[in-house]
């Protein structure tokens, strides 16, 4: 029930802004990896495939609401960066739904070629639903940094690095000492990839055909 309520809340947030112009839809693809007790700090550790669907609402040239549904895989590899957990291993896949507020450091408008590039950051709230290897639903805090570029007046590309702070210490099926306290929860998962976005001109004044 709690899972359903959160999904509905995100849908309501998305629906509340659906009337705004400058909506974009997109797809992302890349890799994801786990960081926690078994792997404290190694980047791109045992990388696994990740993919997602993006729903982007641009309120202004700098501010946007980004909603995303992602398929995430995590696993441990043969190498265990923390030798204390050399005998431990896990593998899991899950679906993540998240909503993030996005800020562009430069005004971003694909229909204006001089403003068709920007570095951005975003952060928000996410929720995961297990598909395999885990029976846990998780609340997450996703935040990301990336770059995007408008190839045409309707099509854009970008790259993004995103980290997800979980609110559990059992993602890797290992609970650290003091794990019952949220300040000791050290399970994260991270992803890196590229995305493609398609601009939908639902405001006639924003359509290239109306540009002088």
DSSP 84: G
> Contact 14/55 with Cβ under 8 angstroms?
yes
The total number of structural domains in the chain stands at 1
Mean pLDDT of 3-30: 62
Tell me, yes or no, whether 146 lies in a domain: yes
Q: Out of 9-18, 35-44, 83-92, 114-123, pick the least confident.
A: 9-18
Tell me, yes or no, whether 61 lies in a domain: yes
Tell me, yes or no, whether 211 lies in a domain: no
Mean pLDDT of 101-109: 95
Tell me, yes or no, whether 139 lies in a domain: yes
Tell me, yes or no, whether 207 lies in a domain: no
CATH of the domain at 181: 2.40.160.20
Residue 171 domain boundaries: 2-15+22-202
| Per-residue pLDDT, 135 | 64
Tell me, yes or no, whether 170 lies in a domain: yes
> Contact 161/189 with Cβ under 8 angstroms?
no
Percent of the chain residues past pLDDT 90, beyond the cut: 58
pLDDT tens figures, 176-190:
655 554 444 578 999
- Measured distance CA(137)–CA(37) in Å, rounded: 19
H-state helical runs in the chain: 2-16
| Per-residue pLDDT, 160 | 98
pTM of the model: 0.81
Residue 54: how many other CB atoms lie within 10 Å? 20
Q: With cut-offs at 50, 70 and 90, classify the pLDDT of residue 200.
A: confident
How far CA 131 is from CA of 72, 128, 160, 178, in Å, comes to 9, 9, 24, 28
């Amino acid at each position: 029930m709690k899972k359903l309520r959160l999904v509905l809340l995100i849908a309501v947030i998305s629906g509340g802004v659906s009337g705004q112009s400058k909506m974009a839809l997109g797809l992302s693809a890349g890799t994801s990896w786990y960081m926690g007790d078994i792997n404290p700090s190694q980047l791109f550790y045992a990388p696994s495939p990740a993919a997602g669907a993006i729903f982007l609402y641009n309120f202004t040239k700098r501010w946007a609401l980004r909603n995303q549904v992602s398929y995430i895989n995590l696993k441990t590899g043969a190498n265990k960066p923390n030798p204390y957990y050399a005998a431990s291993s896990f593998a899991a896949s899950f679906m993540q739904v998240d909503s993030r507020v996005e800020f562009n450091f430069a005004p971003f408008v694909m229909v204006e070629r001089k403003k068709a590039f920007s570095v951005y950051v975003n952060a928000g709230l996410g929720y995961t639903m297990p598909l395999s290897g885990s029976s846990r639903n998780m609340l997450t805090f996703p935040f990301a940094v990336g770059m995007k570029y408008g190839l045409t007046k309707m099509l854009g590309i970008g790259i993004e690095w995103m980290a997800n702070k979980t609110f559990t210490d059992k993602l890797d099926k290992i609970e650290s000492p003091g794990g019952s306290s949220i300040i000791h929860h050290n399970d994260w998962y991270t992803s890196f990839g590229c995305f493609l976005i398609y601009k939908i001109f639902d405001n006639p004044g924003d359509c290239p055909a109306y540009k002088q």
